[in-house]
Every structure is written in C-alpha cells, then in structure tokens.
Amino acid sequence: MTNNSVGFEETSYIKCKKCRAPAIIYQRYSGMHLCENHFCEDVERKVKLTIRQTYKINKNDVIAVALSGGKDSSVALYIINKIFERRPDIKIVAITIDEGIEGYRNLSIKRTKEFTKKYGIEHKIYSFKDEYETTMDYIVKENNIFENYKNHKNHKNNDKKEPGACSYCGVLRKKLLNKAARELGATKLVIGHNLDDEAQTIMLNYFKGDVARMLQTSSTEENEHFVLRVKPLRKISEREVALYAYIHDMPMELTRCPHSFGALRKEVRNMLNDYEIKHPGTKYSLLKGFDTIVPIIRKTKDEIFVTKISFCEKCGDPTSGKYCQACKMLENLKIK
C-alpha cells in the first residue's frame, strides 16, 4: 500500500521500530515504521488519550455512536466498544440516520446492521422521512439543487450562492442525531470525525472568520439541550483510520454520495493534502494550534464571541435566532 498524500506507505522489507516484525506503515509525521500490532496499538493509545484528556466519561454514561456504515464511524464504534464493553455501568448504542439516498444510504444501512449484530451492540435507525416527511433524493431533485449549483458555477446567474446538498443534509442530519441521542437518554454522542475532518473544519472556519462556530465545534462542556459530541478519532488521520478498518475487516464506504457535488470542503481537503505531502505533520500542527487558541478565545469577555441562545419558535431547539437553521431550511424547501 503506497500513498504519499497520507503520510504512510507499506514497507514490509523494513522492521518495526518497536519490534522485529515487518513494518506495514511508515508515519512520515512521526518518523516511525510500525508493524500491524504496534500500529493498532498506536491508534488505540491516541484514542484513549484523547478521551481521557478531552472528554470525561462518567459513571452510568449512555454513549451513543453515530454509525453511518463507513470506515470512520465503524472504527469509532469498534474502539469505543472495546474500551468500555466490560464496564457494566456504561451503555453503548449505535444510531444510524437514513437520509433517503437510494443506491447509497440503503446499502450502508445493511452494513451497519451486520456490524452491530456481529459485536452485539444495540442499534437504532432514524430517518429523514419519518422526521421531516421528505428525503434527500426528493430535496435535491425537486429543489433543483444540482442545476442551481451548475448555473452558479458557470456564472449563468449572479445571485447569492444557494446551499448545496451537503449543507442541507449536514444541518438536518445533525439535528436528528441530537434528537435521537436525547430520546435514547445519551449523555455523550460519538462521531467519527478524524484528523482530516478536523483540519478541514478549522480551515473553513478560519476562511469564514466564524469565531462563534469555532467555539461551538470545539466545546467539551455538557449542555442540557445538546448531547456532548465526542470525537475520539480527531488525532487519527483519515488514511490511518482506513488502514485500521482494513486490518479489522470493517465496513468500507467505496462509493461516493451522489449528492456530494461542489462542496467547498473538497477544495480545502485537496489543499491540506498537498501541504501534508510537502510538510508532514501539517494537519497535526493545525489541530494543535487550534486547540491552543480556542481556550484563550473562550476566556475573553468581549461580547463579540458570545452567542446568545434562544429557542426556535417552531421546534423548540436552541438557536441564536428566531428559528433554528434546520427549520429555516425546511421552510424554503419543497418537501413531500
């Protein structure tokens, strides 16, 4: 396996730095060759350290894990279950959101069912159809989202750029995940964001100057309205997550979502991967710098960084305005 863009490559002719077994990976950012056992040990050690340092797991916690059926969420669920399965006071439940994407989500749901059954993990499925009376397939088709994107890209109109399918899906999915976790009595909501996801989000917020969103996405404080989001893979690169999943024969998402066209995140991802090739450790440095400045920003008393929370007049969820983002989006969409 060779992929310079992700900072590791198969080096079976080289010995592991920690033992004499053949190395399966070279971590360019750390300078270490690792065998299969020590690579998996390294990943699990980083996950445990992240949980210990950033997220406090309390007695009798109910840990919900967002399980999409891809490599990231599968690895997150597997390691969380491995860490806490012997603690009788901790309950783990997987939550899968069915956005209604034919030929994509219906296939991954099959994998989530098989995966949770294999490890004896409780599994709940919630759908856009039941919650919002619509599906992503319908939203994209009936609201001409793809056509609007093409017209904007080709400068056929100069109107303000409309949200892409990923924007609608992300907002609605996040809202339903939080609702599902609350209904299940969860005190923590684990999501499979890896190092690449975190670095991309940081850069996107920098580009937009969205300080409030920086604080929101990095919050580690429990809130009665939002189940605390836990990111155990935030210090594990995407490709290392993929290698860990491959070693453990976990579900791998090999097809791309048909509605993921035109996302700005893709451009940021390509940019960061290019920097990572030229300067190994760039993503770790970006995350470390972000984690350093956020507490400083959070301590400031400047009101510009304070988001006043009210409650959506339609659904009652916390929001900074009259309506939450999900309700505002649904108001302007054609839904069935």
- In this prediction the pTM is 0.88
Q: Round the CA-based radius of gyration of the chain to a whole number and report it.
A: 21
Residue type (1 letter), 265? R
- Which tens digit of pLDDT belongs to each residue from 60-103? 999 999 999 999 999 999 999 999 999 999 999 999 999 999 98
- pLDDT, residue 216, reads 77
Q: What's the mean pLDDT when you consider all of the chain?
A: 86
**Who contacts 96 (Cβ-Cβ below 8 Å, separation ≥6)?**
66, 67, 68, 69, 109, 112, 123, 124, 125, 126
User: Stretch 45-68: mean pLDDT, rounded?
Assistant: 95
Q: Quick check: 191 and 229 in contact, CB under 8 A? A: yes
* Non-local CB neighbours of 207 within 8 Å, separated by 6+ positions: 268
What separation in angstroms does the CA of 25 have from each of 14, 254, 328? 9, 22, 47
Please state, in angstroms and rounded to a whole number, the distance separating the CA atoms of residues 92 and 82.
Answer: 11
Is the confidence at residue 7, as pLDDT, over 50?
no
Cβ pair 51, 61 in contact under 8 A: no
* Residue 131, pLDDT above cutoff 90: yes
pLDDT band at residue 301 under the 50/70/90 scheme: low
pLDDT digits (tens, 9 = 90+) for 14-39: 999 999 899 999 999 999 999 999 99
Q: Which of 160-174, 210-224, 260-274 has the lowest mean pLDDT?
A: 210-224
Domain residue spans of the chain: 40-331
In the predicted structure, residue 10 carries a pLDDT above the cut 60: no
| pLDDT bucket at 8, cuts 50 / 70 / 90 | very low
User: So what's the pLDDT on residue 177?
Assistant: 96
What is the spatial distance between Cα 307 and Cα 315, in angstroms, rounded to a whole number?
A: 19
Architecture per CATH, domain 40-331, reads as 3-Layer(aba) Sandwich (3.40)
